């Protein structure tokens, strides 16, 4: 089967919401291969603690690629303790220039409770506008829903959970089985 014929892995929605001193990253649990749900309870949001510095990361894309990137991010954080933005830029540089890493197909949303960043393979480290970031197949749905709630009295976790529920209602590659981490 040629690569272009392979249906590919789909099924991730990750959202990061920063509001009222609270930062939350939430992700759904669905992994699909083509039109088939392979797993509904995947854990795509993780806590990292390199050198006692706590970071929450959510990933979209190939699981093996994402784990490779998370390991690299941990190493960068160990080299630059307490400096998430710097570690993220260093990871993005490596990702863009290293022949092996260039082939990785994933994206990350990361936070240390202060910064909320999106890291891409194109060399981008983005701080989202409006304190909301979303990636994955249902990311645009979750982003729109969360942005609409940011002026409400809802806290960051409630905004993230309700935005994910809306994305799960719209995107067939997203389910309502959430992992939510606050920092």
Average pLDDT estimate for 8-31: 89
Give the chain's domain count. Answer: 1
149 within a domain of the structure (yes/no): yes
19 within a domain of the structure (yes/no): yes
Model pTM score: 0.91
Does the CA dihedral 12-24-121-95 come out positive or negative? negative
Model pLDDT for residues 72-107, shown as the tens digit of each residue: 999 999 999 999 999 999 999 998 888 878 888 889
165 within a domain of the structure (yes/no): yes
> What residues does 133 pair with on adjacent strands?
16
Q: Structure tokens of 174?
A: 């997203």
Q: Does residue 7 register a pLDDT over 60?
A: no
Distances (CA, A) of 108 to 4, 6, 81: 25, 24, 19
- Range(s) of the domain holding residue 74: 3-175
122 within a domain of the structure (yes/no): yes
The enclosing domain of 118 has a CATH number of 3.60.20.10
10 within a domain of the structure (yes/no): yes
Q: Does residue 112 register a pLDDT over 50?
A: yes
For residue 10, report the phi and psi dihedrals to the nearest 5 degrees.
-135, 170
181 within a domain of the structure (yes/no): no
Average pLDDT, whole number, for the chain?
Answer: 91
Helices (H), the chain: 63-79, 84-97, 139-149, 156-170
Known catalytic residues are 12
141 within a domain of the structure (yes/no): yes
Which helix (H) or strand (E) segment holds residue 37: the answer is: strand 36-39
The span from the CA of 162 to the CA of 116, in Å, is: 19
Model pLDDT for residues 132-168, shown as the tens digit of each residue: 999 999 999 999 999 999 999 999 999 999 999 999 9
């Amino acid at each position: 089967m040629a690569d272009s014929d392979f249906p590919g892995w789909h099924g991730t929605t990750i959202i990061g919401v920063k509001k009222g001193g609270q930062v939350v990253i939430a992700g759904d649990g669905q992994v699909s291969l083509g039109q088939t749900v392979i797993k509904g309870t995947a854990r795509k949001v993780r806590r990292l603690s390199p050198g006692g510095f706590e970071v929450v990361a959510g990933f979209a894309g190939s699981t093996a690629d994402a784990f490779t990137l998370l390991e690299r991010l941990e190493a960068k954080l160990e080299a630059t303790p307490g400096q998430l933005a710097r570690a993220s830029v260093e990871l993005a540089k490596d990702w863009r220039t290293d022949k092996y890493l260039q082939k990785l197909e994933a994206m990350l949303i990361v936070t240390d409770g202060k910064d909320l960043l999106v890291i891409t393979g194109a060399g981008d480290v983005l701080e989202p506008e409006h304190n909301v970031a979303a990636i994955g197949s249902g990311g645009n749905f979750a982003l729109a829903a969360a942005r609409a709630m940011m002026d409400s009295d809802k806290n960051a976790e409630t905004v993230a959970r309700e935005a994910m529920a809306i994305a799960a209602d719209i995107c067939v590659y997203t389910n309502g089985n959430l992992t939510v981490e606050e920092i």
